[in-house]
A and B are shown apart, each in its own frame.
Chain A
Amino acid sequence: MNIDYVATTIAVLTFFGIWSLMAISLNIEYGVAGIPNFGKALFVSIGAYTTGVTYTRLLPILAGRDFIHPCGSTLADAIQLRSDIIRTMPVVAFVNFGITLVIAAVISGIIGFAFSYLVLRLKEEWFLALVLLVGGEIVRIFVRGYQPLICANNGISAVSQPFAFMGGRSASIAFLMLVLLIAFIAYVYSERLIRSPYGRLLKAIRENEDIARTLGKDVAKTKAQVMFIGSMIAAISGVLFAVNLGFVNTNDYVVTLTLDVWVMVVLGGLGNPKGALLGAFVIAVLDRLTAIAAIQMNMAGFNLEFNFVRFILFAVILLLMMRYRPQGILPEPNYTTEAHDNLTARTTGD
């Protein structure tokens, strides 16, 4: 065994940060507001595809260079241009990265907002889950076959993270810090959201829409707002996912990505932002540990193909978890307000 603990930790934490953004967004949508977003892959992919587009179109403009067509015969030149700019003009790389985050978040937020109005037309709530699941695949098939966006199924490579100019380990550490910072902001935001009166409204809608409506709350609008926020966070995670990988390709944003995020949230605890973080952490660690176990078992001469067993293990853990601890590792805490405390104190006579 020759484990580079530092590098492994950086890698696992980076994935943890990116996945926890996805988990936080789903936790707000489903855990708090009860919207079954089975289209995580769709909103994450919007972030990634936006990255592909801005890195090939916007980046050269910002750097004052000529546009080179990213597909076909000029592909190698276009890649060379991107790496040059990112490595030698860090300011341009950062501006481009920041603009990418904003554009991705806005586009994805609007699409999420639009989707939420579809809910109203749907007969049963779980149909939304299906529409979103399938919507992700429709977009994927379209992008895969449509050259102008990200060179169809060829994808866009050399979409490096903005710290790449630092090179080596410091670049990965800097990027990790950025990812963790964004994840932390999202976490604090969702924590405060839940504790706010607005958060209580969301939970009221989750528990009983009709009562919320009777109390004069605009359920449709509220749900749309939640989808807007959730989709924005998902798209931001998509941008980070793409630049961490350095490659945008439709093969990554499939149904299994959505399922992974669901597993994180259910595992961690629905309705609890700490649960979303924990779920993402457990999956990030478990994914790496089982991969390491597969390598080591293979090196030790086991013939059993542990790579298959990994997936079986994931599914079994998920089932056991949902069966014996359906509220997740960290259950939703019972937030109370001061007013509520006073009221309880008065009625129970304490």
Chain B
Amino acid sequence: MAKRLSLLISLLLLIMIALPVQGQDDVETYVLGVAQPFTGPLGSFGTDFTRGIELAVMQMNAELEASGVNIRFEVASADTEGTPDGAARAVQTIVQTTGAEVIVGPLTTSEVLGAKQFADENGVVIVAPASSGIPGAIPGDNIFRVMYPPDNFAALAFAEIARSRGYENIAILHVDDPFGNGLAERFTIDFQAAGGGEVTTIAYSPEPPDLSGEATALSADVAQLSGSGNTAVFCICFLADAQKLLQVAQIDPILTTVEWMGVENLVSPDLLADAGHAQFLQSVNFISVSFTDTATPLTSPFIESFTAEYGDPPGPFTNYAFDAANIAMLTMLAAGNDGDAVTGMLPFVANHYIGTSVQAYLDDNGDQAIAFYGIFRVADDASSFIEIGTYNGSTGLLEMNE
């Protein structure tokens, strides 16, 4: 058996050595690392994310070639398994075996923090496009959380939306992780500062088998809050969990009578795949925020080319991955494949970058400091989401078209 095992190991080694990686000699190749969860509970996110990054690289390479620039980018992606330890090993492996010094990813804040020590000590740059949790707001490190604004922007946006729609009380259901806790907490503060009334919260454990108990508790909260004013539900949950919630909520006598809000990752055609769910969301005036195609001139071309390349429209957050890859590549074009130089240059480049959703702009912590959201509701035929307004995070201006 030992022989078989060593045979297998040598076979793997052979595969690796046999695979040609570099192109022509006169072209310099920069490797862009990608660390995303492909396996584990977050596995469904990884694929779409990586597609967004690969699309950016493809477009960049085509442009470089057409312009006769002798630099090409190549993607090296590794699996974080959705855990901090897995993220650290993924980043380590990419850096140590491909020479990459710039990594796009990982997905969640705890994965980012898992990779942080290695990145800081080895001059590796982490460009995280979807981490928004508060524990990641650390100044002076090698972690840049570009494009996707920290949760306090989303909290403000939802507080504004809630007030403009006349909600006096809010019943929140949120996932019990840094993202869910942080957003729920900020939202409560912002909503009440804006003159809102009572807010109740129910936290659910990540990866729940079902959410029927939580739905019943939510329904009780709503019933109690409704006594003192117009109440709405705010679902701070992942798409899969939202599906489980909707399965119960759509026949609940109380949850069907109030209006609903939901976080950004719910603006996905997958949420409307089930006819019953779609109808329910339409009937409760479900409203959410997402990146908007009126925000910048780059939005529509991105959606079109993504759909042309992969057959489906981009999933939630994929645009942020696309933008993060672009910022990373542009910085590398200026600073080379050198982590320390990229760390120095990246804020400058990012602050001059127009993204698919919003202009990039980083604060002292290296986090996105500008937010611009489109506000979406379910279309009348319940088959897609349509935009009904915008929220400008810098000015706090909310514009509703209907």
Q: Is A329 a contact partner of B1 (Cβ separation < 8 A)?
A: yes
The one of B15, B47, B75, B113 that contacts A299, using a Cβ cutoff of 8 Å: B75
Q: Is A286 a contact partner of B9 (Cβ separation < 8 A)?
A: yes
Q: Is B4 a contact partner of A320 (Cβ separation < 8 A)?
A: yes
How distant is the Cα of A11 from the Cα of B114 in the complex, in angstroms? 15
Which residues of the partner chain B approach A2 to less than 8 Å between Cβ atoms? 31, 97-99
How distant is the Cα of A76 from the Cα of B136 in the complex, in angstroms? 9
Interface digits, A229-248 against B, CB 8 Å rule (1 contact, 0 not)? 00000000000010001110
**A249 interface residue (CB < 8 Å to B):** yes
Ranked 10 nearest A-B pairs via Cβ: A246-B117, A2-B99, A325-B1, A307-B79, A300-B19, A307-B38, A7-B96, A252-B85, A154-B135, A157-B113
Which residues of the partner chain B approach A8 to less than 8 Å between Cβ atoms? 93, 96-97
Interface residues of A, Cβ cutoff 8 Å to B: 1-4, 7-8, 11, 15, 72, 75-76, 79, 141, 144-145, 151-155, 157-158, 160, 164, 167-168, 171-172, 241, 245-247, 249, 251-252, 254, 282, 285-300, 305, 307-308, 310-311, 317, 320-321, 324-325, 329
Nearest CB of B to A292, in Å: 5
Q: Is B93 a contact partner of A167 (Cβ separation < 8 A)?
A: no
Interface residues of B, Cβ cutoff 8 Å to A: 1-2, 4-5, 8-9, 12-13, 15-17, 19-21, 31, 38-39, 47, 74-79, 82-85, 88-90, 92-99, 110, 113-114, 116-118, 121-122, 133-135, 137-139, 176-178, 181, 205, 365
* CB-CB under 8 A for A297 and B19, given A75-B137, A245-B85, A329-B2: yes
How distant is the Cα of A291 from the Cα of B118 in the complex, in angstroms? 17
Beta-carbon nearest neighbor of A323 in chain B: B1
Q: Is A154 a contact partner of B178 (Cβ separation < 8 A)?
A: yes
How distant is the Cα of A320 from the Cα of B122 in the complex, in angstroms? 39
The one of A11, A155, A287, A294 that contacts B96, using a Cβ cutoff of 8 Å: A11
* CB-CB under 8 A for A153 and B77, given A76-B138, A171-B121: no
Nearest CB of B to A218, in Å: 39
Q: Is A295 a contact partner of B96 (Cβ separation < 8 A)?
A: no
**Can you report 26 residue pairs joining A to B where beta carbons are below 8 Å apart?**
A1-B21, A1-B97, A3-B97, A4-B99, A7-B96, A72-B134, A75-B138, A153-B110, A153-B178, A153-B181, A154-B134, A155-B135, A158-B117, A172-B121, A241-B85, A246-B116, A247-B88, A247-B114, A291-B90, A292-B16, A296-B97, A298-B75, A299-B19, A299-B75, A299-B98, A307-B79
Beta-carbon nearest neighbor of B50 in chain A: A298
Nearest CB of A to B5, in Å: 7
- Chain A CB within 10 Å, residue with most, of B82, B90, B95, B114: B114
* CB-CB under 8 A for A293 and B76, given A76-B137, A282-B5, A286-B9: no
How distant is the Cα of A293 from the Cα of B11 in the complex, in angstroms? 10
Nearest CB of A to B338, in Å: 14
How distant is the Cα of A11 from the Cα of B97 in the complex, in angstroms? 12
